[in-house]
Amino acid sequence: MPCGTWMGDPTEVGPHLYPGGERAALARLNALMDRTAWLCSFKKPETEPTSLSPSTTVLSPYLKFGCLSVRTFWWWLHEVYQGQREHSQPPVSLHGQLLWREFFYTAGAGIPNFDRMVSNPICLQVDWDNNPQHLRAWREGQTGYPFIDAIMTQLRTEGWIHHLARHAVACFLTRGDLWISWEEGVPQVFEELLLDADWSLNAGNWLWLSGSAFFHRYFHIYSPVAFGKKTDRDGAYIRKYLPVLKDFPAKYIYEPWKAPRAVQEQPIVEHGAVSKRNLGRMKAARAQKGNESPRRHQAPLVPCRHSSCLPLLQAPSGNNQPVTSMLPPPQKPTPHPRMCPRGQTPPRKPESPRDNTPLDQPPPLPQW
């Protein structure tokens, strides 16, 4: 059985937060059904993208893989709603989220080239920039905006991000900041990294968030600074996924480039203070030693057997015997157990399968 690294799979995996299978799906659904008040008051736009634990159901991966029937989810919710006097309504309720799913499924089935810009009858034709460097920085969480980079780090390590976090990074890539085509975000990033990547939902949301199709407020741009601050002013979400910033002041954690130089650089010592202290220590040590000549630390002599070095090896004082003669005789090398006796042909080593590991391995975590 070939190992996964041949196909480019990473050797190190992130936390296994969402185990697959119908049993896990039904267990998660049952736990949600016990939260009656939360289910009835659920309004998706009011959930928090920066919550350290998911503020939505996270049933989308199970719906995507068929581990959970969408009909089961719908009717279990219906029973909960029936027993309550009031509950949220579509499009923001949980029933509304299932209706959005059907909407994008219908659009994907009926619109030609739904996941492309060219020859897509509903897609706005935009002259996007081609900037591989910016695209790679966005994908790897190296944009320099901690909120955006934390989201992309969570996506890469956990396989899931909040829907408003998806809005933020999609807007940043397209109409908000980088002006890179939404097509770059569909197959190369979200389809590859999201556990709940669903072709119709993925393409439809990218069309929407890039301002390329459907009804939208194209002038509403998600700020990579202000949007995260709305629900997480202290930056706990950033500190979790970018641990290098865990001790950064909250005042600057969303905009580290605005921090004073003393805050940005935190060396292990302060050069001005410790250099003066160490100079005093050195003076004290020399005064205590007096006029004695300091001894240099010498590493033990390791004689060389090379012929050109033999004249350089002198015998110790009072001994005319060369240094090399005092060394133990060289040991006769022992043949390796796998070496064949002289005259025999070694067995042909079976050819190992060709290594098809791509050069572009999944990137490591951001090194701020």
For the annotated binding site for FAD, the residues are 56-60, 97-104, 196-198
Structure-token pair, residue 333? 């090398």
Measured distance CA(249)–CA(244) in Å, rounded: 12
* Distances 110 to 113, 119, 212 between C-alpha atoms, Å: 10, 14, 17
Measured distance CA(34)–CA(351) in Å, rounded: 58
Q: How far is CA 225 from the centre of its chain?
A: 20
358 prior amide bond cis, ω within 30:
no
CA dihedral 149, 150, 151, 154 (to 10 degrees): 120
Angle at 219 between CA 174 and CA 169, to 5 degrees: 35
Contact of 32 with 57, CB cutoff 8 Å: yes
Task: Say which amino acid occupies 225.
Answer: V
* Distances 155 to 58, 213, 270 between C-alpha atoms, Å: 14, 25, 38
- Paired residues of 180 in beta bridges: 129
Measured distance CA(244)–CA(234) in Å, rounded: 15
Structure-token pair, residue 17? 């937060």
> Which positions make up the binding site?
56-60, 97-104, 196-198
Contact of 180 with 131, CB cutoff 8 Å: yes
Measured distance CA(312)–CA(232) in Å, rounded: 70
Of residues 175, 182, 172, the one with CA closest to residue 142 = 172
Contact of 254 with 228, CB cutoff 8 Å: yes
Mapping DSSP to helix (H, G, I), strand (E, B) and coil, where does residue 241 land?
helix
Task: Say which amino acid occupies 277.
Answer: R
